[in-house]
Amino acid sequence: MLSSTVMSVSPGVPTPSSLTPPSPPSSSPVRAIPGSYGWPVLGPIADRLDYFWFQGPETFFRKRIDKYKSTVFRTNVPPSFPFFVGVNPNVIAVLDCKSFSFLFDMDVVEKKNVLVGDFMPSVKYTGDIRVCAYLDTAETQHARVKSFAMDILKRSSSIWASEVVASLDTMWDTIDAGVAKSNSASYIKPLQRFIFHFLTKCLVGADPAVSPEIAESGYVMLDKWVFLQLLPTISVNFLQPLEEIFLHSFAYPFFLVKGDYRKLYDFVEQHGQAVLQRGETEFNLSKEETTHNLLFVLGFNAFGGFTIFFPSLLSALSGKPELQAKLREEVRSKIKPGTNLTFESVKDLELVHSVVYETLRLNPPVPLQYARARKDFQLSSHDSVFEIKKGDLLCGFQKVAMTDPKIFDDPETFVPDRFTKEKGRELLNYLFWSNGPQTGSPSDRNKQCAAKDYVTMTAVLFVTHMFQRYDSVTASGSSITAVEKAN
């Protein structure tokens, strides 16, 4: 298994489980799914305005839980009218841990073309190829492409930690210079350069420095490419109603980023030949399938995910001097000065791991999960059973599901040591952020993120490196405002 390389060094993690939803208990009543989709056109528009403008996504879902007295209900999610005529916004929301887990039971749901709901960005963004994220496990091509992605990660495991650390040194050197010069430095650009640099070396097997244009602007090209695909489904806090009129009313065409994508494609084709050859010879993929899937893993899955996750992690640490002191103490007491950081060397940092998990619980990099019913089945929440019909689209908003009070004590509070000790480690069975539970194992038979364990271990390396280098770091918004270097 791919993940065994990394999971074997995770501290005290329970035996991986698929966490298949149990059969509904006989004591739970069968209940009609509450809520409605409203009038055609008008209902979806009203929900869209609530979702993006009047309430925001989290409040949108929480208010409906209160209204229907249920964590399972019918509603609409964007995008919708006027120009998304082929997109059905009707969903069944599943917003507690128990109902949310059905999203990952591949016996009863499918994942074909539902990465961001019934809306699917144009395949022109990926070379007219449906990449792995849009394939269902029942499709033959899924196993080939998922196995290829897992192979890339497995082969990169020997250099992953060292490349992360080397790129982190460059990032923090840049930030240090900015803080010294003006007492504040935006970390976004150095952070994205760090992410792009180490991922390109690990996944593509190429140093961006061989192409001055890619080294300088590759991360910007990926930013625009990812952003335009997701724009109809995300809020950018632009002045309303202009955001609704110009950003959420239609899909943006690929030609706006066609030139940049071609440059990235050519870079991977020229400098990632060893990886591409494995895709063709070992996994029976065409050169085009291999290259476009590799670019999607690099740009959408990895770069896009880390770009969201790392700022959340910095925000979780900022303004918490006591937490930083505890993390600093753990790092320095368990890792001797001068020790090279590896997956093995950070495996016993229980508090660091817990902080990473807690950040993923409250601020998952992928906020929404979707799945379509493969057949008629019964879905259970904590207190009810609901009849799901084949073809129904299920939608889970992770931040709400991951604050389930029946699973997590004080669920809306950031508790740094929540996932420590035996009780905390058991909670990992209910930590869903990666299209499956933290204790699950990615495979070609499921849709769990192939790099699930690499993500958490990279974040652990990020925090560990920070407290080897600094006694404290202060951030405000997207800027680092103060650093106190380690003695």
pLDDT in tens, 35-47: 999 999 999 999 9
Residue 85 has a pLDDT of: 86
- Would residue 296 count as lying in a domain? yes
Residue 82 has a pLDDT of: 81
- Asked whether residue 196 carries a pLDDT value surpassing 90, the answer given is yes
- Asked whether residue 311 carries a pLDDT value surpassing 70, the answer given is yes
- Would residue 18 count as lying in a domain? no
Residue 384 has a pLDDT of: 97
- Would residue 410 count as lying in a domain? yes
User: Which residue range forms the structural domain that includes residue 281?
Assistant: 30-485
- Asked whether residue 22 carries a pLDDT value surpassing 50, the answer given is no
Is the distance from CB of 331 to CB of 349 less than 8 angstroms? yes
- Would residue 305 count as lying in a domain? yes
> Residues 8-27: what's their mean pLDDT?
44
> Residues 269-280: what's their mean pLDDT?
98
Q: Count how many domains the chain has.
A: 1
> Residues 116-141: what's their mean pLDDT?
98
Residue 13 has a pLDDT of: 39
CB burial readout 50-78, b (16+ within 10 A) else e:
bbbeebebeebbbebbeebebbbbbbbbb
Q: Where do we find the tokens 């609530």?
A: 50
> Residues 59-65: what's their mean pLDDT?
98
- Kindly report the average pLDDT of the chain as a whole number: 94
CATH of the domain at 233: 1.10.630.10
List pLDDT tens digits, range 378-430. Answer: 999 999 999 999 999 999 999 999 999 999 999 999 999 999 999 999 999 99
- Would residue 2 count as lying in a domain? no
- Would residue 10 count as lying in a domain? no
Residue 337 has a pLDDT of: 84
- Would residue 11 count as lying in a domain? no
- Asked whether residue 122 carries a pLDDT value surpassing 60, the answer given is yes
**CA pair distance 435, 415, nearest whole angstrom:** 23
**Interacting residues of 327 by C-beta distance below 8 A, sequence separation 6+:** 317, 351, 352, 355, 463, 467
Residue 88 has a pLDDT of: 97
Bind-site residues for heme: 449
Give the predicted TM-score (pTM) of the model.
0.94
Q: At what angle do helices 287-296 and 258-271 cross, to 10 degrees?
A: 110
> Residues 92-98: what's their mean pLDDT?
98
Going by C-alpha positions, the residue among 279, 302, 320, 299 that lies closest to residue 416 is 320
Residue 83 has a pLDDT of: 86
Q: What confidence tier does 6 reach under pLDDT thresholds 50, 70, 90?
A: low
**CA pair distance 198, 215, nearest whole angstrom:** 11
Bind-site residues: 449
- Would residue 13 count as lying in a domain? no
Q: Radius of gyration (Cα) for the chain, nearest Å?
A: 22
List pLDDT tens digits, range 319-334. Answer: 999 999 999 999 999 9
Q: What confidence tier does 338 reach under pLDDT thresholds 50, 70, 90?
A: confident
